[in-house]
Amino acid sequence: MVDTASIIIASISMVGAIIAALFTGYITYAAEEHKRRREIKAEVRKYSRPLLLTTNDLQNQLWKLIETPITKFDQEERNGKENLEYFTCYLLAQFLAWKNILKVNTQFLAFYEDESSSDLRVILSKIEDELSTSRYDRSGWNFRLWPGHQLAIAENMVVLEKETGQLRPMGWHQFKDDFENKFGIYFGYFQTSITEMLDAKKKQTHGVPDQRLRRLQHFLVDLMDTLDPDKKLFQSDPLAERKCRPASRCDCRGRDCKGRGEELAKERSNRSRSCFAKEAPTIGRGEKSHSPAGNRSDSRRYSEV
């Protein structure tokens, strides 16, 4: 009788201990999860601003390339050529670098689910797809940048600031110095596309090969709207919301493009299902991803400035 009572008491104690251990484990897990979400949220806030500024610079440059008349002098004179070709490449490289820094520092927003992060993922996915897809006809071939080249450009752009231990894109002068060694090979086709587009514009030929660039400019403006929905940063700047004339097909959010992009959106969604939206955060092949607090160890691979 005594033995049975002891066994029952021991069993109850054991069950109690297991429940207490499970509860403690759950509390610890929930606290860590909460902390991680808070850290990722802080990282999103921290990198959204430079990404927004960079996006504005790039969309503005693309608008000028697409919509303003470019003279032969602009195209052939050294400074003009530098502004049209190399500076455009620089602004795009800068954008890709900030996008990549945001991506790896937030584990690609993988564990931070709310409406704004979901919108951000969707629009970044569209931009990456727009730059890389080969599924366009002749008018949309130009300006293609393969996903691997986008990543290579982003990685080559990022430098580690010695004083602050922060990652950031390199400056314009350094980009120019490093162009041939680090970027020329990746930007070759993009640069050629700029020349071809401007030549076609100048000759006023039918079907200027600028369709991809037009869509890209629209998506960049959409990205700005996602990053700064209240227009706090560019309140008094009408150029920040200015979209170029639409491409024949465009699935951006603009009213002018309504009805132009249903098929395109469907194709894009099929493509993205298997890649960008669900992609695990990576820095490069075979390397570990950054954790929000993990910049310092991983950042040893970047050049110091």
Between 117 and 211, CB nearer to Zn ion: 211
Q: Which is closer to Zn ion, CB of 209 or CB of 254? A: 254
Q: What is the 3-state secondary structure (H, E, C) of 21-85?
A: HHHHHHHHHHHHHHHHHHHHHHHHHHHHHHHHHHHHHHHHHHHHHHHCCCCHHHHHCHHHHHHHH
CB of 219 to Zn ion, least distance (A): 8
Distances (CA, A) of 272 to 129, 146, 188, 277, 279: 8, 15, 26, 6, 10
Q: Determine, following the binding rule CB under 5 A, whether residue 216 of this chain makes contact with Zn ion.
A: no
> Residues 217-246: x/- map of binding to Zn ion (CB under 5 A)?
-x---------------------------x
Compare residues 153 and 250 and give the one whose CB is closer to Zn ion.
Answer: 250
- Segment contacting Zn ion (CB under 5 A): 99-107, 111-119, 173-181, 214-222? 214-222
CB-wise, 201 or 218, nearer to Zn ion?
Answer: 218
Q: How many residues bind Zn ion (CB under 5 A)?
A: 6
Q: Which of 254, 272, 295, 298 binds Zn ion (CB under 5 A)?
A: 254
Angle, helices 147-157/115-132, rounded to nearest 10 degrees: 110
Q: Report whether 151 contacts 80 (CB < 8 A).
A: no
Q: How far apart are CA 40 and CA 106, in angstroms?
A: 5
CA 39 to chain centre: 19
Q: In this chain, which stretch among 152-160, 165-173, 193-201, 210-218 interacts with Zn ion, using CB under 5 A?
A: 210-218
Q: Is 252 in the site for Zn ion (CB under 5 A)?
A: yes
The DSSP code sequence of 144-212 is: ---HHHHHHHHHHHEEEETTTTEEEEPPHHHHHHHIIIIIHHHHHHHHHHHHHHHHHHHHT-SS-S-HH
Beta carbons of 150 and 132 less than 8 angstroms apart: yes
Of residues 56 through 95, those in contact with Zn ion by CB under 5 A are none
**Structure tokens of 235?**
């309140």
Binding status of residue 250 toward Zn ion by CB under 5 A: yes
Site string for Zn ion, 5-24 (x = CB under 5 A): --------------------
CB 247 within 8 A of CB 176: no
CB nearer to Zn ion: give 101 or 123.
123
Least distance from C-beta 55 to Zn ion, angstroms? 15
Q: Rule CB under 5 A: is residue 152 a binding residue for Zn ion?
A: no
The answer to the question of residue 290 lying near Zn ion (CB under 5 A) is: no
Instruction: Output the smallest distance, CB 262 to Zn ion, in A.
Output: 13
Residue 294 three-state SS: coil
Binding site for Zn ion (CB under 5 A): 218, 246, 250, 252, 254, 257
